[in-house]
Amino acid sequence: MKTLKIPEATITRLSVYSRFLSQVDQKGIVTISSVEIADGVGVSPAQVRKDLAYFGEFGTRGVGYNVQDLHMHILKILGLAQDWTVVIVGAGHLGSALTMYNGFRGRGFRIVALFDQDPAKIGSEYNGAPVLPMDKLKDIVQSKKVDIGMVAVPAEHAQDVADSLVDAGVAAILNFAPRVLSVPNNIEVRNVDLSVNLEILTFNLVFNRDYQKA
C-alpha cells in the first residue's frame, strides 16, 4: 500500500475548495477547470491539481472536473461523508456563539451538549443543546459517542478541561483558549487562536509601514 504524506496546507485548501464548489454547484455549473477553482479561492492552478492528485484522478483531461462529483469526493476525503458528534465546554459568550453558528451544522457537525461549572448557566439551552454540569461530561461523551470536544473556557481552565475531555473519551479537541494544551498523542488537537491572527495583522501593518520609509 503506497502512502504519501499529505501536507496539512493541502487539507486546509481542500476544505476551502469544497465550500467554493458548493457555491458553484448552486449556480448550476456542471464542469469546472483547475484555473477557475484557483481564481475562485486565490491559489495557483497547479496547486489545485497537485492537491487533488494526492487522492486520485478526479478530472478529465481536456475537459476539467465535474463539479458535483469533485465536491462529493472532497467531502469524503475530509471525513464529511459521516456526521460528527461534538460537545462544547464553556457556555459563555464564545461557547454559545459556537453553538449557534450555522457553519457547523451545515457540514455535519452535531453539537449535542454544552458543559459549564457555573450553576446559573446549567439547565438553559442553546439551539436545542442543553447546558449540563461538568460531572455529566463523561456520561454524555460515552452514551452519545462524542468524537470532538471544543474548549471555550478562559485560558487558565483550558488544560483542566482538556484533561477532562481526554478522560471522557473524545478523539479530538478544537481549542479556542489561548494556551498550548498537552494531551496524549493519540488525541488530535487544533488551536483556533483569535488573538494570534489579529497579531499577524498588526505585525504586517507595522512591518510594511516601517518599510515605506526605508
For 47, 77, 138, the CA distances from 50, given in Å and listed in that order, are 5, 15, 42
- Residue whose CB is less far from its own copies, 101 or 135: 101
Stretch that binds DNA, among 37-45, 91-99, 112-120, 150-158 (CB under 7 A): 37-45
Q: How far is the CB of 89 from its own copies (least distance, A)?
A: 15
CA angle 28, 76, 146 (to 5 degrees): 120
Distance CA 75, CA 10 (A): 14
Q: Is 50 in the site for DNA (CB under 7 A)?
A: yes
Length of the chain: 214
Q: Is 56 in the site for its own copies (CB under 8 A)?
A: no
Distance CA 133, CA 112 (A): 14
Closest CA to 85 of 6, 163, 168, 178: 168
Distance CA 39, CA 6 (A): 23
Please pick, from the candidates 1, 2, 3, 5, the single residue that binds DNA as defined by CB under 7 A: 5
Segment 129-158, which members bind its own copies (CB under 8 A)?
Answer: 147-148, 154-155
Q: Is 64 in the site for DNA (CB under 7 A)?
A: yes
Distance CA 181, CA 161 (A): 10
Q: How far is the CB of 62 from its own copies (least distance, A)?
A: 27
Residues that bind its own copies (CB under 8 A): 1, 3, 6, 8, 11-12, 14-16, 19-20, 40-42, 77-80, 84, 92-94, 96-98, 100-104, 107, 109, 147-148, 154-155, 171-172, 174, 178-180, 182, 188, 190, 192-207, 211, 214
